[in-house]
Amino acid sequence: GAGVSQSPSNKVTEKGKDVELRCDPISGHTALYWYRQSLGQGLEFLIYFQGNSAPDKSGLPSDRFSAERTGGSVSTLTIQRTQQEDSAVYLCASRLEGEQYFGPGTRLTVT
Amino acid sequence: AQSVTQLGSHVSVSEGALVLLRCNYSSSVPPYLFWYVQYPNQGLQLLLKYTSAATLVKGINGFEAEFKKSETSFHLTKPSAHMSDAAEYFCAVSPPMFSGGYNKLIFGAGTRLAVHP
């Protein structure tokens, strides 16, 4: 079956621009996560959505980062006024029972 | 608070040799533990998981790991390395679901495995 998909696969943006990254989870998965993978910080949790509950935003690094999940399915991670330190691979995962399934990631490069 | 330490950022083995990737965790409650593999330019794939059932866990591709509470370890092993095992491996911990805390994975820094002929 279809796995978690993310778009775009690569994004190059200029410093100061806003970007939106999209995640399509596996159908029927109620939990959705965003992680960031960067050279200096490894794999970091960003935000977690579970059904209609308030999201756990405890991993967002600054108020320039936000995410939403519409209709309990697709999620968008938005980074405003991008900085060079935002360059990383952004991974999305969805969960059924005990296992998180990861998408291929979006590689963001801020120039 | 939970944390994961992977000993050795790079491990190199010969094809056919034993693979041992080390992972130690810190957790105030009995954790769930995971090993993920990441091939170049790909996402993370679950190799195996420990969720408080059998302490010896068998995963895909011939990998297994043993949960040792006394040593707070969850080392990953494979008896005989294949060239195709070359990848980066991540150990991760999360609180168990019954504690209401299963909301994120805490990852180790990763171990890059190289397999040479």
> Quick one: pLDDT at residue B1?
74
- Residues in chain A with CB shorter than 8 Å from the CB of B109 are 42
Is A45–B42 a contact, with Cβ atoms under 8 angstroms apart? no
Q: What confidence tens digit (pLDDT) does each residue in A1-18 have?
A: 589 999 999 999 999 999
> Quick one: pLDDT at residue A80?
98
Is A35–B108 a contact, with Cβ atoms under 8 angstroms apart? no
Q: Which residue has the tokens 């059924």?
A: A96
Check whether A70 has a pLDDT greater than 90: no
> Quick one: pLDDT at residue B29?
75
* Ranges of chain B with pLDDT below 50: 101
| Cα→Cα distances A57→A12, A27, A53, A66, Å | 25, 23, 12, 8
Helix (H, G, I), strand (E, B) or coil at B85: helix
Query: Would residue B110 be called left, alpha or beta, if left means φ above 0 and alpha means ψ between -120 and 50 degrees?
Result: left
Helix (H, G, I), strand (E, B) or coil at B97: helix
Angstroms from A95 CA to nearest CA on chain B: 10
* Nearest Cα to Cα of residue A49 among A80, A98, A3, A94: A94
How many whole angstroms separate alpha carbon B86 and alpha carbon A45? 25
Overall average pLDDT of the A12-33 stretch: 95
